[in-house]
A and B are shown apart, each in its own frame.
Chain A
Amino acid sequence: MDILWGQGRPLTAREVGKLIADRDLAPTTVMTVLDRLTRKGFLTRTRDGRAWRYQPVRSRDAYVAELMLEALDLTGDRTAALTRFAQAVSDDEAAVLRRALMELEEE
């Protein structure tokens, strides 16, 4: 995924394999991984002659943002799927907490 995000253009399995130069991976392994990522909905592929060209469906930042929304419980979904250290608070509330923090650090 990192390679596809880094390149910013659709790549074939062979091109991806070449970019993973430091690892001794069989071309079929690369193809299997790309195929699985496609089936899970993270990549799309288009025909290019005899090969497939793979492209990320969404950017890395979009996925990070999605995770953050869930982490901060801003999705409106209340399944309690995650346990969070602290909840998000409003600006007014944050000011109250800032004051409390300053008092605590002065002691």
Chain B
Amino acid sequence: MIAAVALTLLSIGCVVAAWRLPSARWTSRAPRTAILLWQSIGLTWGLATTGALLAYALQPYGQGVIYGLHSHLSSVLTLGLDPESTFTYDLSRTIALVAGLALLAVLIGVLLAALWQTLRARHRHRRLLALVAREDPHVPGVRILDHPGATAYCVPGLRSEVVVSAGALRLLSRDELAAVLAHEDAHVRERHDLVLLPFAALRRAIPWSRIVRDAQSSVALLVEMAADDRARRHCSPRRLATALLRFGAAGSMPAPQGALGAVGHVMARVNRLIAPAAELPRPFRYGVVALSALLTASAPLLWAMPH
């Protein structure tokens, strides 16, 4: 019973943390550390919630979740004819077993579906780029899209491509363009698309959950801040800030649904580029990293714990 209770508490703890973390102020001072914490919260929540249900369901085996599942499977396969089988069918435990396995399957399924859709969308995007984008000797390595709207983005992948629209080229000065490209390069190098994928997948799966929505939007902002931090090593942070504002100010496009508050994100990024806050004290940062490691390890350990 200890494992089931501990996993339940862990699951609740993760939900509370995901609810409180978006309003924490230290995260913008150490975006990478905060992203690490978010990832461990997400992973631990999934494992703890399914683990709690399974640990309760398989408790009669007294072997923990992993070995319990194995024993249950073999007893089901022998149709309960095994005389050593101690498992008695009990309604609440059966429900917990079905719910736990279903949740696990749904979470994995949602992730795989999101991965597949993302890869498909990127594949089509790349193909169209190959047809209509052009290259410009003034900005080597960048694909240019002949459109008056202002946009700059990258198509991540093994061979990632950075794309800038003609409108953006007109809008930005030389230094600002360099800053934008440095920012996109940071996304590419740190594979931020992979960081965002599970959070975006969860948000698509449960769009009505405020906690999930806030979590996804926080991680999206932190990823941008991490890219800004890397870009500022190679370019003037001030130019990056003016480029950001110019993009926003030029936007005559209708805002997409659910993108409200984008201006808050832009201003938060601009402010920390112009007037960076002091870095987080080292002990605090290490503490968060240690907490993330502990969280990530806790759920698998409890899955294996025999009681």
- Residue of A68, A89, A98 most packed against chain B (CB within 10 A): A89
1/0 contact string of A82-102 vs chain B (CB within 8 Å):
111111111101101110110
B253 near A72: Cβ-Cβ < 8 Å: yes
Given A72-B149, A79-B121, A83-B193, A93:B242 Cβ within 8 A: no
Q: Which of A12-20, A45-53, A58-66 contacts B (4 or more CB under 8 A)?
A: A58-66
Q: How far is the CA of A81 from the CA of B267 in the complex (A)?
A: 24
Partner of A64, one of B147, B153, B223, B244: B147
A77 at the A/B interface (Cβ < 8 Å)?
A: yes
B253 near A88: Cβ-Cβ < 8 Å: yes
- Size category of the binding interface on chain A: 35 or more
Q: How far is the CA of A65 from the CA of B147 in the complex (A)?
A: 8
From 124 to 163 in chain B, residues with beta carbon under 8 angstroms from any chain A beta carbon are 125, 127-129, 131-133, 145-147, 149, 151-156, 163
B203 near A78: Cβ-Cβ < 8 Å: yes
With both beta carbons as reference points, the residue of chain A lying nearest to B127 in the complex is identified as A40
1/0 contact string of A18-35 vs chain B (CB within 8 Å):
000000000000000000
B106 at the A/B interface (Cβ < 8 Å)?
A: no
Q: Which of B25-33, B49-57, B73-81, B255-263 contacts A (4 or more CB under 8 A)?
A: B255-263
Given A78-B204, A82-B125, A93-B248, A104:B274 Cβ within 8 A: yes
Question: How close is B230's CB to chain A, nearest CB, in angstroms?
Answer: 13
Q: Which of B12-20, B82-90, B96-104, B179-187 contacts A (4 or more CB under 8 A)?
A: B179-187
